[in-house]
């Protein structure tokens, strides 16, 4: 709104009235008295109408407090007129932090009748990168019909809004299997368990339930025979994030933190979407702990925790895994997100042995920090970096650990969607390529 | 929007033509007045139409050049006003006033032509005011007509101008049918002002300034024929129609400037009545404890107005921790509130006084510091 012109006309009336009064007195002219009074009346009318309208018009906003990057969000603003008379030209400016253009200006042109409300809906996109932002407050601007006096009111509180990273489906998760479960699941495995899917028959053993007796087969054999069913599987995924400060590299969208967080979010999102149980651990500036769970609510919490991590930790990943080893169920999957492409093979060996002792299947995701701009340290000489990388990959290939290396040259949207992402043979190929 | 712009142009034209017409009727010889009035009406219409044509070019001209020309024009005009006022007061001769009117009429045409330079017709309005001032010295019908004409057209102009200014910033909203609303608002704002002015002028008709010197040749200027006003009305009507039509035509063809803010086009849902307000009645808390509880609730309400809204799952202590950087006094008040609300013993008068001090400090802190609230 062009404020300068509002002031110009108002100043004309404010300065003109006393000047006219002066000349009216000097010239004894009733016409000039009336003109001066008219100016005063116009000012008084405008001021009064602006005050009344400004106090009686309110606005509030309703928006779902989270969205993904680049997602279009619908924001609802309700303008309420508590006065008896109608109101017009109500300007509402909303501060929507997740958008690059963070000031969204709307106009309720009116007339909005007395004691009535109207809902305005606008759409905006979360164009800023993932993180926590603020939305609000609303700034309401009303004016008298002559436009002489404006009332600007700030309404509503500043509310949080979370932007999650854009996630990508990871189809390779389907190949990783799962942990046994006593509760009924959709996924089963071809080994004895408690599911409803028939596997076969076997001889009766003391302790078998009588209701599982296969009477026709028992009659044919002449000895007790029981039915056997497949095992229920619940894929159980544990994600460990390497948030060590010494592995920091790159800035903005090309940084180890960005790749670690986006990959972790995509893995959690994909796992959750497949009904897997998911948990996450990390030790950055603050501990990251997402308890095991599934479903949309759990996913939202997990994403919320993941976007708050900072790569400022001091705890190496093997120590983190060791500390949380008791939380890893047997036959579950542990995805280890390293922020370096050449972890120490000795540490790896200890960690893999520990996981193997609990029959936990490891999957390695190595983010090649050397492909990003180095921070806090001098970059390793190229030959040395390649040698270390080859050593680590050779080791992982020997142990047939599914491994994937992500570097700055990789587009996560493309790489994560590869169905052979966690193929053990890829590890051999990567080692050879390095 | 085009209609509103045309109405604005019409209101401006009527403002300037009534001011100039009454001034000419007052300070022109009866033989020249009719021609002068008709000529002035058409000249002003032509100038305003020319101003509409020139406006896009002038407003997009080099900023530095525009600022310099504006400064020169406004400074010069300020000098002209001063001169007119001094001459009017020092040499209140009919002939001098007649010359002043012609000078101001010429300036009026120039200001209408150069409206695009400033972006608003403030100079034309000020000039109209000066013309009304000069006319009021004559007294009688011209003075009455000048005053009522000026007030009666200024208010509608301000209303239309306000609507146009706001709507021009919101492209989609400009399509909303607000012409009837603007006309109604203009009428409602104009009637009381005009009514009061007319009553006062009827009660105290304006007389001629006693010190005006009428020469023998100018003495017939004292009496103004009503036929001139009929002519003024007809010429003004024709000029106004021309201005309205030209303005609509030119505006509808003009390219709209790109908005400079991120204006969003909201979807407007249907209007609905407000739900009945639920009576919020606080339970009655008695005694010293009740006083402290009430103080705490008042501070919470004030904090919410300042943007520090306590969410239901947030406890009092957690809220005090959140607000601590803004208002450390809330900690003390929260402690006393907890004792008053949940404790087994009654608080002492000294505690109540402490709570009042803490509440006052908290209210001051929350009101005075500029930061808005954070999420609870």
For the stretch A170-190, pLDDT in tens is 888 876 655 444 555 555 555
* pLDDT (average), residues A109-113: 86
Pair B158, A146: CB distance under 8 Å: yes
Q: In chain A, what percentage of residues exceed pLDDT 90?
A: 33
Q: What is the pLDDT at residue B372?
A: 46
pLDDT at B153 over 60: yes
Question: How many CB pairs (< 8 A) connect A and B?
Answer: 208
Please indicate whether, in this complex, the C-beta atoms of A20 and B271 are within 8 angstroms of each other. Answer: no
Q: What is the pLDDT at residue B208?
A: 81
Q: In chain B, what percentage of residues exceed pLDDT 90?
A: 21
Residue B333 pLDDT level (bands cut at 50, 70, 90): very high
* pLDDT (average), residues B194-216: 83
Q: Which residues 6+ apart lie within 8 Å of A132 measured at CB?
A: A160, A161, A162, A163, A307, A308
pLDDT at B63 over 60: yes
Distances in Å between the Cα of A381 and the Cα atoms of A385, A386, A387 are 6, 9, 10
pLDDT at B163 over 50: yes
Residue B120 pLDDT level (bands cut at 50, 70, 90): confident
* pLDDT (average), residues A96-118: 86
Could you please report the per-residue DSSP string of B106-118? HHHHHHHHTHHHH
Pair A240, A321: CB distance under 8 Å: yes
Q: Establish if A112 touches chain B: CB-CB under 8 angstroms.
A: yes
* pLDDT (average), residues B110-132: 87
A100: number of Cβ within 10 Å: 12
pLDDT at A303 over 90: yes
Taking only residues 327 to 346 of chain A, the set having a beta carbon closer than 8 angstroms to any beta carbon of chain B reads none
Q: What is the pLDDT at residue A100?
A: 84
Q: What is the pLDDT at residue B336?
A: 92
pLDDT digits (tens, 9 = 90+) for A344-399: 888 889 999 999 988 889 999 999 998 898 887 777 788 888 888 888 888 888 88
Q: What is the pLDDT at residue A5?
A: 61
Measured in angstroms, the CA of B116 and the nearest CA of chain A are apart by: 13
Q: Which residues of B touch A147 (CB under 8 A)?
A: 158-159, 161-162, 165-166
Could you please report the per-residue DSSP string of B120-160? S-HHHHHHHHHHHHHHHHH-HHHHHHHHHHHHHHHHHHHHH
Q: Which residues of A touch B125 (CB under 8 A)?
A: 9, 12
Q: Which residues of A touch B135 (CB under 8 A)?
A: 31
pTM: 0.72
Please indicate whether, in this complex, the C-beta atoms of A38 and B170 are within 8 angstroms of each other. Answer: no
pLDDT at A336 over 90: yes
Residue A4 pLDDT level (bands cut at 50, 70, 90): low
Distances in Å between the Cα of B128 and the Cα atoms of A22, A174, B19, B111, B245 are 19, 82, 5, 11, 23
pLDDT at A222 over 50: yes
Cα radius of gyration rounded to whole Å, chain B: 31
B116 vs A356 pLDDT, higher one? A356
pLDDT digits (tens, 9 = 90+) for B322-332: 888 778 888 88
Distance, CA of A422 to CA of A418 (rounded, Å): 9
Pair A341, A275: CB distance under 8 Å: no
Residue in the block written with tokens 């012109």: A5
pLDDT at B373 over 70: no
Residue B371 pLDDT level (bands cut at 50, 70, 90): very low
Please indicate whether, in this complex, the C-beta atoms of A107 and B173 are within 8 angstroms of each other. Answer: yes
B205: exposed, middle or buried (C-beta count within 10 Å: 0-12, 13-18, 19+)? middle
Q: Which residues of B touch A119 (CB under 8 A)?
A: 268-269
> Of A5, A38, A145, which has the smallest distance from its Cβ to B185's Cβ?
A145
Of A328, A249, A318, the closest CA to residue A283 belongs to A318
What is the separation, in whole angstroms, between the first and last Cα of chain B?
43
Of A155, A151, A156, A142, the closest CA to residue A91 belongs to A142
User: Considering chain A, what is the average pLDDT of its residues?
Assistant: 85
pLDDT at A50 over 50: yes
Q: What is the pLDDT at residue B129?
A: 94
> Of B181, B200, B266, which has the smallest distance from its Cβ to A34's Cβ?
B200
Residue A1 pLDDT level (bands cut at 50, 70, 90): very low
* pLDDT (average), residues A316-326: 91
Nearest CA in chain A to B270: A118
* pLDDT (average), residues A128-155: 89
A376 vs A54 pLDDT, higher one? A54
Residue A321 pLDDT level (bands cut at 50, 70, 90): very high
Measured in angstroms, the CA of B204 and the nearest CA of chain A are apart by: 7
Q: What is the pLDDT at residue A229?
A: 73
Please indicate whether, in this complex, the C-beta atoms of A120 and B173 are within 8 angstroms of each other. Answer: no
Distance, CA of B371 to CA of B364 (rounded, Å): 13
Q: Establish if A195 touches chain B: CB-CB under 8 angstroms.
A: no
* pLDDT (average), residues B138-164: 91
């Amino acid at each position: 709104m062009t404020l300068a012109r509002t002031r110009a006309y108002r100043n004309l009336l404010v300065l003109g009235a006393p000047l006219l009064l002066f000349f009216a007195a000097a010239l004894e002219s009733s016409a000039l008295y009336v003109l001066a009074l008219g100016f005063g009346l116009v000012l008084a009318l405008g001021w009064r109408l602006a005050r009344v309208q400004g106090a009686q018009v309110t606005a509030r906003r309703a928006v779902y407090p989270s969205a993904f990057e680049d997602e279009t969000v619908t924001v609802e603003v309700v303008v309420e007129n508590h006065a008896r008379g109608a109101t017009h030209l109500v300007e509402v400016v909303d501060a929507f932090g997740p958008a690059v253009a963070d000031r969204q200006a709307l106009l309720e042109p009116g007339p909005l009748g007395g004691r009535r409300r109207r809902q305005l809906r606008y759409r905006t996109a979360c164009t800023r990168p993932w993180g926590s932002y603020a939305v609000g407050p609303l700034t309401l601007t009303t004016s008298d019909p002559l436009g002489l006096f404006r009332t600007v009111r700030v309404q509503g509180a500043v509310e949080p809004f979370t932007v999650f990273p854009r996630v990508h489906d990871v189809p390779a998760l389907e190949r990783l299997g799962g942990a046994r479960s006593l509760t009924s699941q959709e996924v089963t495995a071809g080994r004895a368990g408690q599911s409803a899917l028939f596997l076969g028959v076997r001889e009766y053993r003391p302790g078998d339930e009588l209701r599982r007796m296969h009477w026709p087969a028992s009659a044919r054999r002449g000895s007790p025979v029981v039915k056997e069913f497949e095992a229920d599987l619940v894929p159980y995924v544990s994600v460990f994030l390497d948030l060590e400060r010494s592995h920091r590299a790159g800035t903005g969208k090309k940084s180890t933190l960005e790749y670690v967080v986006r990959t972790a979010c995509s893995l959690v999102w994909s796992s959750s979407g497949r009904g897997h149980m998911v948990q996450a651990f990390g030790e950055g500036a603050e501990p990251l702990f997402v308890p095991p769970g599934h479903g949309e609510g759990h996913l939202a919490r997990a994403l919320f925790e993941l976007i708050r991590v900072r790569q400022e930790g001091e705890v190496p990943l093997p120590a983190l895994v060791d500390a949380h080893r008791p939380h890893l169920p047997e036959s579950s999957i542990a995805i280890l997100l390293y922020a370096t492409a050449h972890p120490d093979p000795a540490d790896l060996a200890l960690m893999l042995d520990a996981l193997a002792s609990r029959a936990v299947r490891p999957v390695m995701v190595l983010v090649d920090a050397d492909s990003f701009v180095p921070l806090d340290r001098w970059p390793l000489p190229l030959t040395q970096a390649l040698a270390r990388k080859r050593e680590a990959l050779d080791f992982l290939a020997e142990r047939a650990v599914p491994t994937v290396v992500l570097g700055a040259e990789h587009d996560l949207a493309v790489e994560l969607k590869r169905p052979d992402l966690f193929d053990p043979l890829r590890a051999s190929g990567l080692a050879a390529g390095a | 929007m085009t209609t509103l712009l045309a109405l604005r142009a019409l209101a401006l034209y009527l403002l300037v033509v009534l001011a100039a017409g009454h001034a000419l009727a007052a300070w022109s010889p009866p033989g020249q007045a009719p021609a002068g009035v008709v000529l002035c009406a058409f000249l002003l219409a032509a100038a305003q139409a020319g101003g509409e044509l020139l406006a896009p070019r002038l407003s997009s001209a080099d900023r530095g050049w525009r600022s310099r020309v504006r400064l020169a024009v406004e400074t010069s005009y300020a000098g002209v006003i001063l001169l007119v006022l001094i001459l009017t007061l020092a040499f209140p001769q009919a002939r001098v006033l007649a010359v002043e009117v012609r000078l101001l009429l010429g300036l009026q045409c120039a200001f209408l032509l150069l409206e695009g330079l400033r972006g608003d017709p403030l100079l034309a309005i000020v000039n109209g005011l000066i013309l009304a001032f000069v006319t009021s010295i004559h007294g009688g019908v011209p003075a009455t007509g000048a005053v009522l004409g000026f007030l009666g057209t200024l208010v509608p102009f301000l209303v239309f101008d306000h609507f146009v200014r706001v709507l021009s910033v919101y492209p989609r909203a400009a399509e909303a049918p607000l012409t009837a609303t603007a006309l109604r608002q203009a009428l409602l704002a104009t009637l009381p002002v005009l009514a009061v002015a007319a009553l006062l002028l009827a009660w105290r008709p304006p007389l001629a300034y006693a010190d005006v010197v009428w020469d023998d040749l100018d003495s017939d200027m004292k009496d103004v024929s009503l036929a001139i006003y009929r002519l003024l009305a007809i010429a003004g009507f024709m000029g106004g129609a021309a201005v309205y039509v030209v303005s609509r035509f030119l505006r509808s063809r003009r390219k709209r400037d790109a908005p400079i803010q991120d204006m969003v086009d909201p979807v407007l849902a249907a209007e609905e009545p407000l739900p009945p307000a639920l009576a919020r009645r606080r339970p009655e808390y008695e005694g010293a404890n009740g006083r402290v509880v009430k103080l705490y609730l008042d501070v919470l309400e004030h904090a919410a107005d300042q943007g520090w809204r306590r969410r239901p799952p947030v406890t009092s202590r957690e809220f005090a921790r959140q607000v601590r950087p803004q208002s450390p006094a809330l900690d003390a008040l929260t402690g006393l509130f907890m004792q008053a609300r949940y404790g087994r013993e009654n608080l002492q008068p000294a505690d109540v006084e402490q709570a009042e001090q803490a509440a006052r400090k908290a209210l001051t802190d929350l009101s005075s510091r500029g930061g808005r609230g954070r999420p609870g």
